Amino acid sequence: MKIQNSTALVTGASRGIGRALVGALLEAGAKRVYAAARDPGSLTGLVEAHPDRVVPLQLDTTDRQQVEAAARAAADTNLLINNAGLLSAYGLLTTPPEVLEREFATNFYGTLAVTRSMLPNLEKSGGAVVNLLTVVSLASMAGLGGYSASKAAAFSMTQALRAELKKRGVAVHAVFPGPVDTEMARDLTLPKTSPEQVAAAIVEGINLGEEDILPDPMSRQVFDQWKRDPKAVEQMFAAM
């Protein structure tokens, strides 16, 4: 689908990639962007800068009532960007089970719940769903074992939804960023891409109809290797 004249909804728009996506969508000609955040107060600056095109929404993707209310309030959405994500589960042998559950609640179940709730209009409008995954959806990094597992589950979900929704006229895109310079990656010492660059690449990938969007140099390198030799990616991440 084309971004021009679309009506988009971005989850996790308070900061980081989500906030940059709102800007990139506006720049690419979206008619309206629903900026969804757990704390709508975090959206004040965005809304003030674009009062006619940015609509704030309260949305914790793990809260069923808020998911249903957001779907009703943003029923004209034809581009859903599931960006909200959590990184709090590290080693699988040391992370408390309740922390792992929270990670899956946002990264897997929340993404699925929001997608299901928005389907009626996505189908009616021949729209698109975009899921923010990560290079560690492709192979696990042990130090991020809980996060990797939840994002691998989200990748599997993305593939299943792509197959099911293709027949129903809805495109499903996956995005596999490497390290991005946001709050989530603040402790990571690897080179990072800016959220604005990643957002611009995502918007371009949607416009081009790319199923798998690789928004930075590391994502392109890892994805290429994974297509040729998935075991090599597992081994590379195991050594990091």
Ligand X SMILES: NC(=O)c1ccc[n+]([C@@H]2O[C@H](COP(=O)([O-])OP(=O)(O)OC[C@H]3O[C@@H](n4cnc5c(N)ncnc54)[C@H](OP(=O)(O)O)[C@@H]3O)[C@@H](O)[C@H]2O)c1
Residues that bind ligand X (CB under 6 A): 11-12, 14-18, 37-39, 42, 59-62, 83-86, 106, 110, 132, 134, 177, 179-180, 182-185
- Minimum Å gap between C-beta 231 and ligand X is 22
Q: Which is nearer to ligand X, 15 or 53 (CB)?
A: 15
Rank residues 105 and 125 by Cβ distance to ligand X and give the closer one.
105
Q: How far is the CB of 88 from ligand X (least distance, A)?
A: 9
Min dist CB 102 to ligand X, Å, is 8
Residues annotated as catalytic are 147
Choose between 2 and 15: whose C-beta lies nearer to ligand X: 15
For residue 182 the two structure tokens come to: 């946001």
